[in-house]
Amino acid sequence: MHFDPNGVSVCQISRDDATKPVLNTCEYVVLDNSGDTQDKLTSLVKAHGLEQARCTCVLPPESHNLLLIDAPDVEPAELKAAVRWRIKDLINFHIDDAIIDVFEIPEQNSAPGRARLMYAVAARESKINENVDIIEKTALNLEMVDIPELAIRNITALLDDDIRGVAFLYLSKDSGVITLTRQGSLYLSRNIDVGCKPMFLRANDGGVHPETQQAFDKIVLEVQRSLDYYESHFAQPPITSLVIAPMEQEVDGILPHLSANLGIAVSILDINSVMEVDEPMSNELQAKCLLSIGAALRYEQKAL
């Protein structure tokens, strides 16, 4: 389940190691300010027979910070306390409202004298509680709370290119996330101030709108910076493909522009090609449900 500013997406997946994941349920429901959010969610769960189903909720991007930090040299039992002290001035909300968790980056071939890196997640407890309170009033069995970056990681792990490494671009309305993953592990994540909103503008002469061109150029710059950092800090083979998350509308010119300027293969993800679905999903539905699909793909039994 994932809440965005306009609604909620609910997806249910079954999977094993032998076949593609099977998408059993995928629906997006618009929520308004009428006060019937709880009733809508309860009805949605009942309609799809999800009572007591295990549930993972994906936090909204603005509710947390994901920080790449030097791993503190402390005992495991003291790790989260040490991280809390280290990041207290790096997050955009008060540390007393923070739930802290950490996860490792594997296969780091660090240069001599360079500290081992790890990720720290600082999420707003108040924002977590908002979502938890809503879900717990339905018949769902909430097991964990996830972040968008790891939900995306679960999707890229299905791609053939993930064996060598894949860059992934996810754009919401006003912002975006670039992730670099390899063999099911998240190595790098960058937030960018480019969203899909300018992508849908149309120039009067039929060409590329100036704001769209500016967004394309900013994406090229941020992806290239990410690729350079990945190669230099993690000593991994170069990533040669960029996959773009589905968007609600088609964006003319984005693939040739990014491919030509980055020098790598660029494609748009189609969930229908990596999962078993009863009916092909539209790009609009894929865009609205991508994060909840990623959350439903999670294997690990770890909570944020």
C-alpha distance from residue 40 to each of 9, 88, 164 (Å)? 12, 38, 43
Nearest Cα neighbor of 246 from 222, 276, 270, 227 is: 270
pLDDT in tens, 218-267: 999 999 999 999 998 888 889 999 999 999 998 989 999 999 999 999 99
3-state SS, 239-256, equals CCEEEECCCCCCCCCHHH
Q: Does domain 160-268 have CATH number 2.60.120.260?
A: no
Q: Running DSSP on this structure, what letter comes out for residue 51?
A: T
Domain chopping of the chain, boundaries: 63-125, 160-268
Contacts of 298 (CB under 8 A, 6+ apart): 56, 144, 146, 150, 151, 154
Quick one: the chain helix, strand, coil %, rounded to 5? 35, 25, 35
pLDDT in tens, 147-185: 999 999 999 999 999 999 999 999 998 899 999 999 999
Distance, in Å, from the CA atom of 102 to the CA atom of 76, rounded to the nearest integer, reads: 11
Handedness of CA 204, 206, 210, 216 (dihedral sign): positive
Please compute the mean of the pLDDT values over residues 210-216 and round it to a whole number.
94
Residue 110: pLDDT band (50, 70, 90) is low
Please compute the mean of the pLDDT values over residues 177-200 and round it to a whole number.
93
Fold matches, 63-125 and 160-268: no
pLDDT of residue 130: 87
- Mean pLDDT, all residues of the chain: 89
Distance, in Å, from the CA atom of 78 to the CA atom of 74, rounded to the nearest integer, reads: 6
Distance, in Å, from the CA atom of 227 to the CA atom of 187, rounded to the nearest integer, reads: 11
Fold of the domain spanning 63-125: Dna Ligase; domain 1 (3.30.1490)
pTM: 0.91
